[in-house]
Amino acid sequence: MKPRYLDSLLVVFSVFLLLTSPSGSSFGAGSDDQGAREPVLAGTWYPGNPEKLRDQIAGFLSKADGDPFQGELVGLVAPHAGYMYSGQVAAFAYKHLRETSFKRVILIGPSHYVGFRGIAVDLQSGYKTPLGTTPVDKDFVNELLGTNSQIRWLPDAFAREHSLEIQVPFLQSVLKEFTIVPVLMRESDEITCTTLADGLAKTMKKKQGKTLVLASTDLSHFHTGDQAKLLDHRFIEALRAFEPKGLLRSISSAECEACGGGPTVAAMLAARGLGADQAIVLRYANSGDVTGDYKRVVGYVSAAFVRR
């Protein structure tokens, strides 16, 4: 007959495993053996076939006309809807990454499915798409984790999240060898935005390699085309002014809408830390411009942060 104290030991040991294993932990430092994240949007939001995906992105990029801007590129803003709807707007941002030497991209997006306080970072080894696997800069992520207790590893937040994954095939199409730093925000208050920007600034001072800051956001949701343009114009004007706190006030007061408002503000602050002093709006459109139905649309914008 098994002694009772063995049952107690087994219970204690089981709880210990649950609390210390990555799959059973909500927050905390990540281990170094996390596998690559599998794509959840391939075949739906963008093509699952590599050739079709390359061709679609190349088509978007070929139609992204416009003169090059003056100044050194530091950051970008790009939308995160299905490529059918927002891919062309995103291309106006991504075309500026051609012939650049960025080795690291900090991807900052909103968490659509998981609620949490503070900031979530990802310690999976990489992000898979039909175009290959892009590695996560785990050294950078671990350094970022140490800058503030509000920055945490939250695996569940990244499992279904589309705001970051949707950017990766575009990056794979215009950059050569690079890593990513996946970051998610649920709250868009000034403290959270500043905490992330400060943490990024501290980490970037310690890490070599040219770094791009990229905010993932869509604008107003499910208004008529005319209403969307009014709301989105307010966001765009605040963005163009390159005033992070002004943009945050406009979002907080409901003068405009953006699911990635916090990530945009945080990216703006981080870009300022890298020397950016101007925001250039590259393209605006909404889903009605694709479908022809302006009854309920979603707005999209692409922009660049530059150092003049």
Which segments of 122-178 are extended strands (E)? Answer: 126-129, 132-135, 151-153
pLDDT grade for 66, boundaries at 50, 70 and 90: confident
pLDDT at 208 over 90: no
Per-residue pLDDT, 34 = 66
User: Per-residue pLDDT for 13 more than 90?
Assistant: no
Q: Enumerate helices (H) and strands (E) in the chain, giving the number of each.
A: 12, 11
pLDDT at 96 over 50: yes
pLDDT higher at 99 or 93: 93
Helix 190-206 and helix 261-273: axis angle, to 10°? 40
Question: What is the average pLDDT value for the chain, to the nearest integer?
Answer: 89
Instruction: Name residues whose C-beta falls within 8 Å of residue 283's C-beta, 6 or more positions apart in sequence.
Output: 64, 88, 89, 92, 93, 300, 301, 302
What integer pLDDT is reported at residue 70 of this predicted model?
86
- Predicted confidence (pLDDT) per residue in 118-137, tens digit: 999 999 999 999 999 999 99
User: What DSSP designation does 23 have?
Assistant: G
Domain 27-307 has CATH 3.30.470.20: no
Question: How high is the pLDDT of residue 125?
Answer: 97
- Is 107 in contact with 182 (CB distance < 8 Å)? yes
Backbone angles phi, psi at 26, to 5 degrees: -80, -45
69/131: higher pLDDT:
131
Query: Could you tell me the residue ranges of all domains in the chain?
Result: 27-307
238 phi and psi, to 5 degrees?
-65, -35
Q: Which residues contact 131 (CB under 8 A, 6 or more apart)?
A: 50, 53, 54, 169, 172, 173
Output the pLDDT for position 259: 95
Q: How confident is the model over 17-60, as pLDDT tens digits?
A: 333 333 333 333 444 446 999 999 999 999 999 999 999 999 99
Per-residue pLDDT band at 9 (split at 50, 70, 90): very low
Nearest to 80 by CA among 271, 294, 260: 260
Where are any strands of DSSP class E within the chain?
A: 72-78, 104-110, 119-121, 126-129, 132-135, 151-153, 179-185, 211-216, 221-223, 278-286, 297-307
Instruction: Kindly report the backbone phi and psi dihedral angles of residue 71, in degrees, each rounded to the nearest multiple of 5, phi listed first.
Output: 115, 170
Backbone torsions φ then ψ of 128, nearest 5 degrees: -90, 140
Mean pLDDT of 200-229: 94
- Report the C-alpha gap between 153 and 274 in whole angstroms: 25
Distance from the first to the final alpha carbon of the chain: 78
